Chain A
Amino acid sequence: MIRVVLPAHLRNLARVDGELRVDVAGPTTQQSVLDALEAGYPMLRGTIRDQVTHKRRAFIRFYACEEDLSNEAPDAPLPEAVATGKEPFLVVGAIAGG
């Protein structure tokens, strides 16, 4: 079970409070976590990554275990602590704008 933390706007859109939990089949990667997230919450499609290219949206960042994983390859394994559910996978809206 993977723990996922979404920014407030996406929690509202998905109508959830707090952390989400998703099941991932196979290796735990950004791609597999986001695939599982979007399968369980279809309204999130396109809000984190492009629906066609799967490229991360410009103002979205990914963090886990106090590391910025935003530019890691989508199919790179996430930290073991994320895969085991000890630490959450954080989807963060960049602090930008005014």
Chain B
Amino acid sequence: MSGVRVLVGTHKGAFVMTSDAKRKQWDISGPHFTGWDIYHVKGSPADPNRIYAAQNTGWFGQIIQRSDDGGKTWNPVGNKFAYEGATGTHLWYDGTPRPWEFKRVWHLEPSLTDPDTVYAGVEDAALFRSTDAGQNWEELPSLRQHATAPNWAPGAGGMCLHTILLDKNHPERIFIAISSAGVFKSEDAGKTWRPANKGLHSEGIPDPNAEVGHCVHRIAMHPSRPDTLFMQKHWDVMRSDDAGESWREVSDNLPSDFGFPIDVHPHEPETIYVVPIKSDSEHVPPDGKLRVYRSRTGGNEWEALTNGLPQSNCFVNVLRDAMAVDSLESPGIYFGTTGGQVYGSADAGDSWAPIVRDLPAVYSVEVQTLR
């Protein structure tokens, strides 16, 4: 029998929510790791019982947890994230050079084919990989050693590597995104990297052709169209149709083109979702209305999805890793808020209902489709 498992990371623990394919009744377990920040929880596409979680606090640092039974039980695995070689410097907020310092794991991306291989995007920005199910982590150092790296600078949330896109059609290809350096692309499994930010224009960067420095919030890709990427930048929703070689804006009629998450319909590669947020200085929905916007044309033409979402006095945010789609025939769309709600739609966004309302602030939402 098919169903889904929604994995939620919050400010005070992780939650595992399961349902059958109707997605009306939910069984919720958690909090796991109570009291800890859980930046991300994600399952292996190759083995749905294998799940990785990134757990940290300022007191005790970074822990990686692994479940081999679909989130019922967990065990801590390796947590040594040591930069390889000389660490070098990046720019600090005041423009002075600052040595790289590991702070936390933002994002875990399990391999598409091997449950024991998992990538970690960390702050200060770097990419690590484990090939033994999280026991040991090795940096892919050429990214952090890129010639532009001394000019990378943190966004307001820190200098985080928050997005890792793998591509089953091109096993050697990896896209990553860093706030606020931008998108980088590797065609050789992470041995070498180059910026992929052409066409991005960011307020405050005087050079219109700036190779790096863009505050990319999230990128997304449909597996059947690996050369088409969608981006929610700090401001602007963008798309690329040449595997990140160039970008063009597709914000058009959105009420605001600021936001964090962006995702793609599982069966319609031109149907995409964003959650507009009023501005970078306010971080609340426009007009107090929580609206997901859907475009069925790959951008530019957007419709507000409001059925079941609060349309007054709502002032929560939806963070970059807090939206996910399942792949059931009538696809489920899920997102979590900083107010602790997790909303789900079992009809591609036409209608919504809360799965839970009163969690700690939600950092991340992922979903596994179970068959």
Contact = CB atoms under 8 A, between A and B. Distances in A.
Interface string B79-98: 11010000000000000000
Interface in B316-347: none
B333 to A, nearest CB: 34
B57 A9 contact: yes
B308 interface: no
B45 interface: no
Contacts of B141: none
B61 interface: yes
Interface in A3-48: 7, 9-10, 12-13, 43, 45-48
Contact of A47 (B34, B35, B60, B82): B60
Contacts of A96: 58-59
A43 B62 contact: no
A86 interface: no
B58 A97 contact: yes
Nearest to A58: B58
A59 B80 CA distance: 19
Given A51-B82, A52-B82, A13 B61 contact: no
A52 B59 CA distance: 17
B199 interface: no
A96 B59 CA distance: 9
Interface string B34-55: 1110000000000000000000
B76 interface: yes
B63 interface: yes
Interface string B288-300: 0000000000000
A12 B62 CA distance: 15
B76 A43 contact: yes
B61 A43 contact: no
Of A52, A94, A96, the most chain B CB neighbours within 10 A belong to A52
A10 to B, nearest CB: 6
B60 A10 contact: yes
Interface string B86-122: 0000000000000000000000000000000000000
A47 B80 contact: no
A60 interface: yes
Contacts of B35: 9
B59 A45 contact: no
A93 interface: yes
A60 B59 contact: yes
B82 A93 contact: no
B76 A57 contact: no
Nearest to A8: B35
Contacts of B60: 9-10, 13, 47-48, 57, 60, 93
Contact of A13 (B58, B63, B80): B63
Given A59-B58, A59-B59, A93-B60, A46 B79 contact: yes
A45 B80 contact: yes
B58 A43 contact: no
Given A9-B36, A43-B63, A57-B60, A51 B76 contact: no
A46 B82 contact: no
Nearest to A57: B61
Interface string A47-63: 11001100001111000
B80 A9 contact: no
Nearest to A48: B60
A46 B59 CA distance: 11
Contacts of B36: 9
A60 B57 CA distance: 12
A87 to B, nearest CB: 24
B59 A57 contact: yes
A82 to B, nearest CB: 22
24 contacts: A7-B59, A9-B35, A9-B36, A9-B57, A13-B60, A43-B63, A43-B76, A45-B80, A46-B61, A46-B79, A47-B60, A47-B61, A51-B79, A51-B82, A52-B82, A57-B59, A57-B60, A57-B61, A59-B58, A60-B59, A60-B60, A93-B60, A94-B59, A96-B58
Given A47-B60, A47-B61, A51-B80, 10 more contacts: A9-B57, A12-B34, A48-B60, A51-B79, A51-B82, A52-B82, A58-B58, A94-B59, A96-B58, A96-B59
Interface of B: 34-36, 57-63, 76, 79-80, 82
